[in-house]
Amino acid sequence: MNLCDIRVVKSLMSQHGTGTKKGFGQNFLINKQIPEAICEASYSYHKSVNPQGKSAVLEIGPGIGCLTYELCRAYDKTLAVEIDSSLIPILDKTLSEFDNVKVINEDFLKLDLKELLEKELGECTVSVCANLPYYITTPIIMALLEGARDENGKSAITSITVMVQKEVALRLCANEKKGDYGAISASIAYYGRAERLFDVTPDNFLPPPKVTSSVVRIELYDKPIYKVNSEKMLFKTIAGAFSQRRKTLLNSLSSYFSGISKEKISEIISQLGFPPDIRGERLSVEDFCRLADEIEKEV
Ligand code: SAM
């Protein structure tokens, strides 16, 4: 059964009395080459960094299972989390040939990620691979980056390969030398290296989304490589720096950290060697770490 054949998708859904739901961000892939390429991008990296041991993958939003099918063929174990209960009986059918897959009917954002990975995939190294529901791309990615680390900062996740809207992909992969750089780009840069791999046009989906999509791979550092006293303060500083897009770093930070005087913030900016009129989008993640350490002393 070709799970990307549009007639198969429609017939499976109508047999089970369901249809695509916009509210769940359901745009199903209808070109088999795309899930094959997404899986290959995920698995080839996973194997290059974890050549030995059992491989596992976590998928968020399997839909009717076209990407899940490829993941089950490549990885030793696949765990998929799907919010839409009407798709579960379809997945039972489309994945019936595999005994290395488990589908959980839950809202991914309500799960305790660490507990889930430990319980279901404890002995394996884990990658994440998904065609994400676009309405919750950023919270899902942040949950994956933040929620899978132990008390020493070691991540249970090796890499995250996801399809997102192209404009989001550009932001995820931007750096301080390129446009589109924002709070999410700086936060991701703290955890790993993001790369946009290829674009996918709307005609490859049912129903077609309004915009072009891109596949992005984030290769996570085993542990954070940047030194900062408080991660909490780092993310607050990043949020503060980008809180007022067209303003200087000084103005954005002083309205965000209302407990610190503007003079003090100006002093910190100059002490760190930045021009007085610099904007947040010129600061690298390393710069943000230095800035956060100085701000922390004042709060
Ligand atoms: N993987 C399929 C494909 O590529 O054709 C479907 C991808 S579709 C863009 C997004 C999927 O995420 C849908 O199956 C949707 O029901 C599911 N989804 C949406 N919100 C979710 C959530 N909070 N937790 C888990 N799954 C979710």
Residue 271 and residue 140 share a domain:
no
Cα of 252 to ligand 1 centre, how many Å?
A: 36
User: Can you read off the two tokens belonging to residue 194?
Assistant: 């993001």
- The mean of the pLDDT values for the chain is 96
CATH of the domain at 268: 1.10.8.100
Q: Are residues 270 and 141 in the same domain?
A: no
Q: Are residues 54 and 77 in the same domain?
A: yes
Residue identifier of the C-alpha nearest atom 5 of ligand 1:
28
294 within 8 A of 234, measured Cβ to Cβ: no
- Residue 99 neighbours by CB under 8 Å, 6+ apart: none
Indicate whether 18 and 149 sit together in one domain.
Answer: yes
Query: Is 107 domain-assigned?
Result: yes
Write the CATH number for 48.
Answer: 3.40.50.150
Q: Say what the pTM is.
A: 0.95
Nearest CA to ligand 1 atom 22: 107
Answer whether residue 207 is part of any domain. Answer: yes
Between the CA of 168 and the centroid of ligand 1 the distance, in Å, is 17
Identify the domain boundary among 193, 220, 247. 220
Whether 1 is covered by a domain: the verdict is no
Which atom of ligand 1 is nearest the CA belonging to 64?
2
**Rg of the chain's alpha carbons, rounded to an integer?**
21
What tens digit of pLDDT does each residue of 243-259 get? 997 899 999 999 999 99
* SS3 state of residue 60: strand
Mutational test site, ligand 1, from 28, 72, 78, 105, max ligand atoms within 8 Å of CB: 28
Q: Are residues 81 and 187 in the same domain?
A: yes
* Alpha carbon distance 73, 52 (integer Å): 17
- CA of 255 from ligand 1 middle (Å) equals 38
Please give the structure tokens belonging to residue 11: 């017939």
SS3 breakdown of the chain: % helix, strand, coil, rounded to 5? 45, 20, 35
Same domain, 33 and 67: yes
Q: Which of 199, 220, 241 is the last residue of a domain?
A: 220
**DSSP per-residue string spanning 150-215:** -TT--BSEEEEEEEEEHHHHHHHT--TTSTT--HHHHHHHHHEEEEEEEEE-GGGEESPPSS-EEE
Collapsing DSSP to helix, strand or coil, 83 comes out as coil
Task: Give the pLDDT of residue 178.
Answer: 82
CA quadruple 147, 111, 82, 22: dihedral sign: negative
Tell me which residues have their CB closer than 6 angstroms to ligand 1.
Answer: 24-29, 60-63, 66-67, 81-84, 107-109, 131, 133, 136
Cα–Cα distance, 193 to 211 (Å, whole number): 25
Sheet of 125-131: strand order equals 101-105, 77-82, 55-60, 125-131, 157-165, 213-220, 192-200
Shared domain for 26 and 138, answered yes or no, is yes
Same domain assignment for residues 138 and 22: yes
> Among the three residues 168, 193, 220, which one is the final residue of a domain in this structure?
220
Tokens for 3? 């799970």
Give the atom of ligand 1 at the shortest distance from the alpha carbon of 130.
1
Q: Are residues 207 and 252 in the same domain?
A: no
Q: Which domain, by its residues, includes 162?
A: 6-220
Q: Is residue 225 part of a domain?
A: no
User: Same structural domain for residues 215 and 235?
Assistant: no
Question: How do the pLDDT tens digits run along the chain, 299 residues long?
Answer: 899 999 999 999 999 999 999 999 999 999 999 999 999 999 999 999 999 989 999 999 999 999 999 999 999 999 999 999 999 999 999 999 999 999 999 999 999 999 999 999 998 999 999 999 999 999 999 999 998 888 888 899 999 999 999 999 999 999 998 879 999 999 999 999 999 999 999 999 999 999 999 999 999 998 889 999 999 999 999 999 999 978 999 999 999 999 999 999 999 999 999 999 999 999 999 999 999 999 999 98
Which atom of ligand 1 is nearest to 34's Cα?
4
Q: Whose CA is nearest to atom 17 of ligand 1?
A: 61
Residues 198 and 271 in one domain: no
Q: Which residue matches tokens 């990043």?
A: 238
Domains in the chain, number: 2
pLDDT by residue (tens digit) across 283-298? 999 999 999 999 999 9
Check whether residue 46 and residue 191 sit in a common domain. yes
Ligand 1, closest atom to CA 62?
1
Distance in angstroms (rounded) separating the CA atoms of residues 215 and 169: 7
Residue 22: inside a domain: yes
Closest atom of ligand 1 relative to the 133 alpha carbon: 10
Q: Are 159 and 218 in contact (CB under 8 A)?
A: yes
> 175: CA distance to ligand 1 center in Å?
29
For residues 230 and 153, is the Cβ–Cβ distance under 8 A?
no
**177 in a structural domain:** yes
Under 8 Å CB-to-CB from 244, ≥6 apart: which residues? 251, 252, 255
Query: Is residue 13 assigned to a domain?
Result: yes
Does 179 map to a domain? yes
Please state the separation of Cα 73 from the chain's center in Å: 23
